Amino acid sequence: MGSLTQNRSDLFSNLLFFSTNLLMMPEIKILIVEDDQKIANLLITYFKRESWTYDHAITGKIAQHLINENYYSLIILDLMLPEIDGTQLCREIREKSDIPIIMITAKDTESDKISGLTIGADDYITKPFSINEVIARIKVQLRRHTKIQNHWLIEHNGIELSVDQHEVKVHSRQVDLTLIEFDLLRYFLERVGQIITKQQLLKDVWKQDIILDENTVMV
């Protein structure tokens, strides 16, 4: 193992630890912005059945804070909210993110629907609604958003990796990485949910076909 330097070993260990945390992150996390607790509880019940994690905001202001501090796969947004209404919140989200937004509201006129879709909502559902239809529409938006993220831009839980521009951002903040760090992060992001061995990393990232056993000490 003389070809591997101490620095490389440290980097390997640090990024392997990082990748383990990355792979454990929830795949789907949804923000529910709804002041009606009964509706929120219904959504939460069905989200749990789908093994989706969630946060719940009862006001637009709370939602603002949560959006600034977390990464979400999708947002369920009511229009009539205290403090900051759904229309304003939707506009603010669209200024900095393309996260899927589904509006669920009692406003059911054609002009309301057109307005909601125009300001940036990806879908518009009126109350009362079928919970099964809501779940189906959420899945459609999640699939659609995944397809938009092509091979050259990889996104996961607030991390954005641009392959062609060789840039990495975490929650919209650019992070400078070395070439090997970039390749490692890309490797992890392209294999979220998979078990990765040291043998695979050495072969695929460092291009070294070295046979390791469990007692090997990397120095």
pLDDT at 197 over 80: no
In a domain, 74, yes or no: yes
Verify that 39 and 127 share a domain, yes or no: yes
Verify that 172 and 84 share a domain, yes or no: no
In a domain, 127, yes or no: yes
65-90 pLDDT, tens per residue? Answer: 999 888 888 999 999 999 999 999 99
**DSSP β-ladder status, 167-170 and 159-162:** antiparallel
User: Predicted confidence band at 6 (pLDDT cuts at 50, 70, 90)?
Assistant: very low
Report the C-alpha gap between 211 and 43 in whole angstroms.
50
Verify that 39 and 77 share a domain, yes or no: yes
Verify that 12 and 105 share a domain, yes or no: no
The enclosing domain of 84 has a CATH number of 3.40.50.2300
10-20 pLDDT, tens per residue? Answer: 544 544 455 54
Q: What is the pTM of this model?
A: 0.60
Verify that 88 and 180 share a domain, yes or no: no
29-68 pLDDT, tens per residue? Answer: 999 999 999 999 999 999 999 999 999 999 999 999 999 8
- For residues 198 and 181, the answer to whether their CB atoms sit within 8 Å is no
In a domain, 88, yes or no: yes
Verify that 80 and 36 share a domain, yes or no: yes
Verify that 163 and 130 share a domain, yes or no: no
Which residue range forms the structural domain that includes residue 184? 6-24+157-204
Verify that 34 and 20 share a domain, yes or no: no
143-191 pLDDT, tens per residue? Answer: 877 655 544 677 777 888 887 778 888 888 888 888 888 888 888 887 7
Q: How many domains does the chain have?
A: 2
In a domain, 134, yes or no: yes
Report the C-alpha gap between 33 and 10 in whole angstroms.
43
127-138 pLDDT, tens per residue? Answer: 999 999 999 999
